[in-house]
Amino acid sequence: MVGVFAPFFDYEFMTRAALGGVALALAGAPLGVFLVMRRMSLVGDAVGHAVLPGAAAAALLSGGSTLWTTLGAALTGTMVFMTAGPASRALRLPEDAGFAVFYLTALAIGVMIASMGGGVIDLDKLLFGAALAIDNTALALACVAALVTTIGMPLVYRPLLIDTLDPQFLRASGGAKWAGPVAQSVFFGLLALTTVASFHALGALMSIGLTILPAIAARFWAKSVPLMIASAAILGMLGVLAGLLVSFNLAAPVGAAIVSCLVAMVLASSLVGPNQSLLTRALGRASLANRAP
């Protein structure tokens, strides 16, 4: 059994990837649970895609510097996030339609910028990430995201939870008026930081996967929000480690392997998890049928 995990100890790049992945899973767990509860999973995905043009342009100008690529990714990701909602409202489009227009535009521009690089930019790396090639800067960013999220989320947990589950009550309950907007700003700031940090490992197309998928799986394991966050963190870490091992042993693309393992966890959780899974619902129906006269 220990032998299965030997690559994490034998190869430095696997150790580095595991550390980065575990840090991102820890950062993503509370953010993902709140994103899913706020029904913003796809908005998070759109923002993840929107980092591409900034990352591509910065990589082109800086010769592939991780730091500049990160800053470029953060810039366009934030721009799309800040403008898509207001633009949708101004054009009287449904908000998800506005996000679709913006993120597809960002993806297209990003691919064009990357293709102009004449081989300087590795488009595959930008799109799909390179978890096994995480350098010190990217690893440090992942650890910072985990640390800041672990400190920041408890600070705004209470107003963020009420704002997520019953925003009208938060406004009218007589509590601090600033609490809701501040909690939202902190939450979306942490989400932007974690999405950009994940970008190096999973690329623009799948960077939000490590945040969203464990949170979706966690809903089948826990009923309360704190337990959902704990479950999402554990499932995320397991998914990262499993994905890295699959990638190592099968020579599969690492980002795709991690996301595939996380998707497998969602499927398994939806089948056999103790909370509202297909199995527990079937058992509940059978129990009711047996009790019927």
- Point out which residues bind another protein (CB under 8 A): 37, 155-156, 158-159, 162, 164-176, 179, 219, 222-225, 228
CB of 288 to another protein, least distance (A): 14
Q: What is the DSSP string of 185-223?
A: HHHHHHHHHHHHHHHHHHHHHHTTHHHHHHHHHHTTT-S
Measuring CA to CA, how many Å separate 251 from each of 132, 135, 209, 237, 257?
Answer: 11, 20, 21, 20, 10
Structure tokens at 262: 């996380």
Compare residues 123 and 183 and give the one whose CB is closer to another protein: 183
CB of 219 to another protein, least distance (A): 8
CB of 189 to another protein, least distance (A): 17
Compare residues 116 and 155 and give the one whose CB is closer to another protein: 155
Q: Environment class of residue 75 by beta-carbon count within 10 Å: exposed (0-12), middle (13-18) or buried (19+)?
A: middle
CB of 37 to another protein, least distance (A): 7
CB of 180 to another protein, least distance (A): 11
CB of 186 to another protein, least distance (A): 11
> What is the number of alpha carbons within 13 Å of residue 247 lying toward its C-beta?
25
How far apart CA 173 and CA 5 sit, in angstroms, is 51
Compare residues 230 and 242 and give the one whose CB is closer to another protein: 230
Compare residues 89 and 223 and give the one whose CB is closer to another protein: 223
Compare residues 173 and 249 and give the one whose CB is closer to another protein: 173
Compare residues 147 and 155 and give the one whose CB is closer to another protein: 155
Least Cα distance to 47 among 26, 67, 75, 22 occurs for 75
Q: Environment class of residue 175 by beta-carbon count within 10 Å: exposed (0-12), middle (13-18) or buried (19+)?
A: middle
